[in-house]
Amino acid sequence: MRTMLTGASVFCGNGFVSADVVTDEGRIVAIGPDIKEKAEKVIHCDNFFVIPGLIDVHVHFREPGAEYKETIQTGALAAAAGGYSAVLPMPNLTPSPYDLDGLRPQLAAIEKLGSSIGAHSRVIPYGRITDGKKVADLEALAPYVCAFSDDGVGVQDGALMEEAMRRAKALGKLIVAHSEDTNYAPEDPRSEYMQIVRDLDLAQKTGASYHVCHVSSAESIRLIREAKKQGIDVTFETAPHYLVFSNENLPDDGRFKMNPPIRTAADREALLEAAADGTLDMIATDHAPHSAEEKSKGFKGSLNGILGLEAAFPVMYTSLVEGGVIPVDRLVQLMSTNPAKRFGLPGGELKEGGAADLAVVDLEDVFTIDPSGWKSKGRSTPFEGMKVSGRVIMTMTEGNIVYER
pLDDT range class, residue 118, cuts 50, 70, 90: confident
283-317 pLDDT per residue, tens: 999 999 999 999 999 999 999 999 999 999 999 99
Q: Please state, in angstroms and rounded to a whole number, the distance separating the CA atoms of residues 380 and 369.
A: 12
Q: For domain 53-348, is the CATH number 3.40.50.360?
A: no
**Length of the chain, please?**
405
- pLDDT category at 159 given cuts 50, 70, 90 is very high
pLDDT at res. 150: 97
- pLDDT one-digit tens code per residue, 75-89: 999 999 999 999 999
pLDDT in tens, 19-73: 999 999 999 999 999 898 889 999 999 999 999 999 999 999 999 999 999 999 9
Residues 261 and 196: their CA atoms lie apart, in Å, by 17
pLDDT tens column, 140-149? 999 999 999 9
Q: pLDDT (tens digit, 9 = 90+) per residue, 88-113?
A: 999 999 999 999 999 999 999 999 99
Mean confidence (pLDDT) of the chain: 97
State phi, psi for 309 to the nearest 5 degrees.
-60, -40
382 pLDDT exceeds 90?
A: yes
pLDDT at 152: 87
Is the C-alpha dihedral spanning 321, 187, 177, 289 positive or negative?
negative
Helix (H, G, I), strand (E, B) or coil at 65: coil
- Residues 377 and 288: their CA atoms lie apart, in Å, by 10
Full strand arrangement of the beta sheet holding 210-212? 148-149, 175-177, 210-212, 234-238, 282-283
Q: For the packed helices 72-81 and 100-117, what is the interaxial angle rounded to 10 degrees?
A: 60
- 151 catalytic? Reply is no
H or E segment at 263?
A: none
* CA end-to-end distance (rounded Å), the chain: 20
Q: Which of 177, 161, 166 is nearest to 210 (CA)?
A: 177
Mean pLDDT for the stretch of residues 325-330: 97
Looking at 150, 199, 286, 357, which residue is catalytic?
286
- What was the pLDDT predicted at 34? 84
Whether residue 348 has pLDDT greater than 90: yes
Residues 218 and 222: their CA atoms lie apart, in Å, by: 6
Neighbours of 105 (CB within 10 A): 16
Average pLDDT over residues 168-174: 98
Q: How confident is the model at residue 131 (pLDDT cuts 50, 70, 90)?
A: very high
| Sequence-distant (≥ 6) Cβ neighbours of residue 277 within 8 angstroms | none
What is the rounded distance in angstroms from the CA atom of residue 351 to the CA atom of residue 34?
17
Tell me whether strands 16-24 and 27-32 are parallel, antiparallel or unpaired.
antiparallel
Q: What percent of the chain has pLDDT over 70?
A: 100
Backbone phi and psi for residue 238, each to the nearest 5 degrees, phi listed first? -130, 175
Please report, for the chain, the start and end positions of each structural domain, with discontinuous segments joined by +: 53-348
- pLDDT at position 349, please? 97
Q: How confident is the model at residue 274 (pLDDT cuts 50, 70, 90)?
A: very high
